[in-house]
Amino acid sequence: MTTRTIASRRVLLANGSIEDTTVTIEGGRIAAVGGACRGEEWDFGDAWVLPGVIDLHGDAFERQMMPRPGVHFPMDLALLDTDAQLVSNGITTAFHGVTYSWEPGLRGRESTVGLKAALEAVKPQLACDTRFHLRHETYNLDAEAEILGWLDDGTVDLLAFNDHSDIILDRILTKGKSTATYTARTGLTHDAFIDLLHRVAERKAEVPASIDRLAAAAVAKSVALASHDDYTPDMRRRYHSIGCRIAEFPMNTPTAETAVFLGDPVICGAPNVVRGGSHLGADGILAAREVREGRCTILVSDYYYPSLVQAPFVLARSGEARFEDAWALVSANPAAAAGLDDRGVIAEGKRADLTVVQNGGAGPARVVGTLVNGRAVCRTEIAQSL
């Protein structure tokens, strides 16, 4: 069994203190915090030694699968490339947000089932602890029985209820907007996509009961549950009542406040923090403000992996949050929300998932080392010279 001791003048501990200390690793776990060095010693100097980043919602892997509309690459290759991106950005646990929609193509059944199987097959080769976050489009009623089977066999790590269908129906059938985005994604013609929309809309009355059945099955199996893009307080209360306790990207302040009142973790996007605003423009919330005012408790990479490690440094520099509290948004808080009590903090007995970061001040922070379960999966030349 390899023993390794990491030393740094800036180690973020479980109690929130930042200390000049050592972290000793044995058998993939943190054996001791403080004390003399044992085994191989890595001295990181002034670099930050931080709990590993936990990403509950990331779907940037879709770009490796289909980098251009209609251009596809093998899923195992896409997942391996994504894995390299994850660990190089300090992410030690990643929940791949896989959208299972009534649409064919990238988010249809063939793609979802294929990606799920590819992820299970390639897991032994992945450096990052990679998990399956099923983003179920609630109008995808024909998939219910299959998803119930996945919940029963334990292959879903997080289930999120998505309802983009109403938005798409309103945008296209009511407002007559272009179908170009959807035809490119699905491979359908305009007329075929319109026909599909009408068939989907006809089954709206069946959706609530399907959600209830899936939620009950997830709760029975202790699978974490989230709802996506809640747009009213009543919508959050409804999901909360069926055991869906994570609010992903609430669309407005009253809805986020309701989630906080109910004690539910609230997810916002780290890209929003780094960019200084939502990709939705004026229609989106400001994640930094949500953090400052206590309405955001978790940050996720969403569509851009590098944003997650950068966001806590941005928040600290701007005075929106203390650094130690900002880092909890990407480590301790997502671990607690997902029921991962073995990680998220640097403490004896926890998994040795660590992210080592050089922060140059005003510029981007740089990940110089990533350890997953005690194994160094990314260590740059800079880290080796420290």
The domains of the chain are located at 3-50+348-385, 53-337
pLDDT of residue 91: 98
21 pLDDT higher than 80: yes
Q: Which CATH class for the 3-50+348-385 domain?
A: mainly beta
Mean pLDDT of the chain: 93
Residue scoring higher pLDDT (163 or 373) = 373
d(CA 355, CA 50): 5
Question: Is the pLDDT assigned to residue 283 strictly greater than 70?
Answer: no
For 174-206, the pLDDT digits (tens) are 778 888 888 888 889 988 988 888 899 899 999
Torsions phi, psi for 88 (to 5 deg): -70, -15
Residue 279 pLDDT grade (very low, low, confident, very high; cuts 50, 70, 90): low
Segment 152-163 mean pLDDT: 96
Tokens of residue 335, six digits: 């671990």
252/11 Cα distance (integer angstroms): 36
The model's confidence at residue 165, banded by pLDDT at 50, 70 and 90, is: confident
* pLDDT > 50? residue 80: yes
Six-digit token pair at 296?
């955001």
Rounded average pLDDT over 310-315: 96
Tokens representing 251 are 């669309």
Q: Say yes or no to pLDDT of 44 above 50.
A: yes
Which pLDDT band holds residue 309 (cuts at 50, 70, 90)?
Answer: very high
Going by pLDDT thresholds of 50, 70 and 90, the confidence category of residue 384 is low
Over range 158-181, report the average pLDDT.
83
Chain segment 211-270, per-residue pLDDT in tens: 999 999 999 999 999 999 999 999 999 999 999 999 999 999 999 999 999 999 999 999
The residue whose two tokens read 């002034």 is 46
Taking 70 as the threshold, does the pLDDT of residue 281 lie above it?
A: no
Which two structure tokens, joined as six digits, stand for 90?
A: 């300090």
pLDDT, mean of residues 341-369: 93
What mean pLDDT is predicted for residues 149-163?
96
Nearest alpha carbon to residue 104 among 95, 113, 96: 113
Q: Which long-range contacts (CB under 8 A, 24 or more apart) does 228-237 make?
A: 228/135, 228/160, 228/161, 228/162, 228/163, 229/162, 229/163, 229/164, 230/255, 230/259, 231/255, 233/257, 233/258, 236/262, 236/264, 237/262
Answer for the pair 246, 225: CB distance below 8 angstroms, yes or no.
yes
pLDDT at 280: 62
Q: What is the CA radius of gyration of the chain?
A: 21
**The pLDDT of residue 137 is above 60:** yes
Whole-angstrom distance, CA of residue 162 vs CA of residue 143: 14
User: Which one has a higher pLDDT value, 343 or 198?
Assistant: 343
Q: What DSSP string runs through 149-212?
A: HHHHHT--SEEEEE--HHHHHIIIIIT----HHHHHHH---HHHHHHHHHHHHTTGGGHHHHHH
Q: What CATH code is assigned to 53-337?
A: 3.20.20.140
